[in-house]
Amino acid sequence: MGRRHLQLVIVLGIIFVYLAATVGCSQPQSKPVPEQSSEGRVPVPSELKQLQASLDQLYEELKPELPQTGGNQQQGGQTGQQNSEQGGQQEGQTDQGQQQGKGDNQQDQGGQADQVDWNKLQSQAEKIHDQWNRFETKAVEAGARQADIDGIEEELDKLPMMITAKNRSGARLAVNKAAAYLPNFMELYSTKAPPALYLMQVLTRNVMSKVDDGDWGGAEQDMLKMKTTWSQLLVQLKDESKAETDKTHMAQLDLEDALQKRDQLLVLIKGNILEKNLDDLIKKQEAKM
């Protein structure tokens, strides 16, 4: 009985060791999960950079222009003042002079509109569509949201129609709205400059464009988005030169103040300054090693 008991213990021990080894081998070894960081992403593809450059170029052709102090308008005012000092029959001449002054102003505005080369803009719009077609596949592969793809396509489809109609405001709005989707695509890649800096540029252009169109309410909404975006950017730019970020911050506050004053000329001036500061900030970010 003692020997049998010993053999049974040995057999059970062997079985136990075998089972333990089997269970140990069947346990999957845990693998470290790689961290998802921008350093592991591929750089922004050239197709996206080309698309952005083309949209920027098209906006420059359509951007709001500072009103010019023309001689015709001043001369019309002087003529009206001289006529107002005369009475009777000459009052009719005053009205005629004022109408002539309005006609001169309209001709000046028409001359500015005629300076736009719409055929050239139509060619640029076609090139932009081709550039988007070449980037779209890469955007899908990188995991772009379908809403962003549909959104930019909708705005790009408006461009040829607006240009054909010589609708400067409509074409400019479509360009800005299309460009607003680019930072979302940039988020999919490794970038030196935070994509939100490009969004700040778009929002600045929106404020100026909408004020130029008389849409003060729309400009105020974009100003609110800009303030929120800039607050988030300040956290990302904390290592940057304080002088650069302070300069840009003050330019944004100046633009907001001009908007509150309902001063169209001042909005365009301050908007141009803010856009330049943002461009300088982006260039310095991109120049980093």
Helix spans in 189-263 (H): 195-212, 216-236, 242-260
pLDDT tens digits for 208-220? 999 999 999 999 9
pLDDT higher than threshold 80 for residue 28:
no
Please state the separation of Cα 151 from the chain's center in Å: 14
Determine the Cα–Cα distance for residues 124 and 122; give it in Å rounded to an integer. Answer: 5
Identify whether 137 is part of a domain: yes
Domain boundary pick from 190, 208, 236: 190
Residues 50 and 154 placed together within one structural domain of the fold: yes
Residues 203 and 264 placed together within one structural domain of the fold: yes
Determine the Cα–Cα distance for residues 52 and 108; give it in Å rounded to an integer. Answer: 32
Determine the Cα–Cα distance for residues 168 and 171; give it in Å rounded to an integer. Answer: 5
Domain boundary pick from 147, 163, 190: 190
Identify whether 270 is part of a domain: yes
Listed in order, strand segments (DSSP E) in 41-155 are none
Residues 228 and 146 placed together within one structural domain of the fold: no
Identify whether 32 is part of a domain: no
Counting Cα atoms < 13 Å in the Cβ hemisphere of 178 gives 28
pLDDT tens digits for 119-165? 999 999 999 999 999 999 999 999 999 999 999 999 999 999 999 99
Residues 138 and 256 placed together within one structural domain of the fold: no
Q: Predicted confidence band at 167 (pLDDT cuts at 50, 70, 90)?
A: very high
Q: What is the pTM of this model?
A: 0.73
Structural domain of residue 197, as residue ranges? 193-289
Residues 149 and 205 placed together within one structural domain of the fold: no
Residues 205 and 288 placed together within one structural domain of the fold: yes
Residue 114 has a pLDDT of: 57
Identify whether 29 is part of a domain: no
pLDDT tens digits for 225-259? 999 999 999 888 877 678 889 999 999 999 999 99
> Domain of 287: which CATH number?
1.20.120
Residues 154 and 275 placed together within one structural domain of the fold: no
pLDDT higher than threshold 60 for residue 22:
no
Count structural domains, the chain: 2
Identify whether 90 is part of a domain: no
Residue 244 has a pLDDT of: 85
